Structure 1
Amino acid sequence: MTRSTSVSVAGTALHVDDTAESDLTPVVCLHSLFFDNRMFDDLVEAGAGRYRFVRPEYRGQGRSGPADGAVVTIEQCAGDIAAVLDELQIAGAPVIASSMGGDVAARLAVYRPDLVGSLIFLGSSVRPEPADKVAEYVAWSDDVGEHGFTGDRLTMVEQIMFGASTRSDPAKADVLDRWRGRMAALPTSIRPAMIGVMRRRSAVDALGEIDVPALVISGEECPVRPPEWAYELADGLPRGELVMLPRVGHSPLLEAPDTVIPRILDFLDAQS
């Protein structure tokens, strides 16, 4: 059974879903931009009774309180997650992080190493966006912030989040339909979070400081965190291991759950 709670952090409140089994190892799950903590539902079900899953949602996203400015930075999100873990008295936990969550998790591991016991990165990197693309991406974020996720805007975010093979696979139509509907319902108030991701700074030089077991799982078809970025992430982590998946895009957990979920649980078991 999952317990939902709200944790006050620096001017807002974060929604947190917590399976709350106090006798089990807590596992912190950090979601992607454009998604929310429901992206981990199947993992939570598969790991029930083995791990306690703690799933916060960032400020200005999901069911958390709104952003209090024009930009929500990755560093601000890392500070918020640290505050949540302190409130819940969680330390030394495995952290599973997808896309934007990987940027947050890497900074959390550097700034508060006491909170992070191991890391699983899904479709992540710690590079900034290419400098020649930032203005274009920010303009797109402004457009979405005015008009919402409709028409070509919704199509674009779907192409970002799911690989071409997934989008063309009839067997995966249900997951695509589910998340297409959820993305279409995203409020325009997500814009500050989008800007924070588009303007994020590099954390590549800090990877050497993250000396915990780390698993990087990425898809060969990812357009926004391409394979070479995943190799860079795994190579830069002192204890990094890479799994590269064919026919998978930016969201390995949703696109290839039959492969990814067992691999995650095996990794967690090995650290226990």
Structure 2
Amino acid sequence: MNFALILFSALVITGGIWLLDALLLKRSRGPDEREPMLVEYAKSFFPVILVVFGLRSFLVEPFKIPSGSMMPTLLIGDFILVNKYTYGIRLPVINQKIVQMNNPERGDVMVFRYPADPSLDYIKRVIGVPGDLVEYRDKRLTVNGKPVLTANTGTYSYVGNGLNYISAAVYDESLKSTPHTMMTEPDKPSVFPPQVMDFPYRENCSYNAEGEGFTCKVPAGQYFMMGDNRDASNDSRYWGFVPDKNIVGKAFFIWMSFDDFSRIGTTIQ
């Protein structure tokens, strides 16, 4: 569901009714005649819709985490805020960038429109920026020939799909100055080659047939994304790169978490 389009439509309809009444209908009413109910509702809702539309289009937009692909950083059901202007100001609905600001950096947690179906919003971590050579073999990440530093910090257990009890190894990973957490399951391959789709710039990637890993060269204007829950994430390994035009914004704040109240008010690393 394109909520931005729904809000925009409501804005146009209520604003149109208000304007039509001000220019035409109001003149035909008597001085003591009451406004039609439709006009009253339009005049009441238009300012509210305008404020909501402006805030979520240009400043911040709330999202709910639907899956465990970003665990342990983000949990299923977390409510987060996404900064809409960090990577540039875009026109709502058509998502056309009109003001260039910052570019996504390695390590950012980013919301974007899923390239294979832009009606869906995904959230992953930026692993590779344009021009990067990303390699992931035997659960070890290398960017431009330099291994990304990791430090084991313990284990994380949770109930996965099918009520399976999963215990994963947790690491601090340093893609930028502030490390973030990610986790892997030692008994799973780095990638499942049969699940790899035929995506744009597929020739930029090579996969090991046994699932030991892959190498991808990130094209200009594209980004390589992976989930922090490395072995339970449908990400760029399988459906390819995220074009700049699909970017929604940078996730930065957890404003509600019903499973763990201590997470409320924390920033996203």
Which of the pair is proportionally richer in helix?
A: 1
| TM-score of the two chains, using structure 2 as the length reference | 0.26
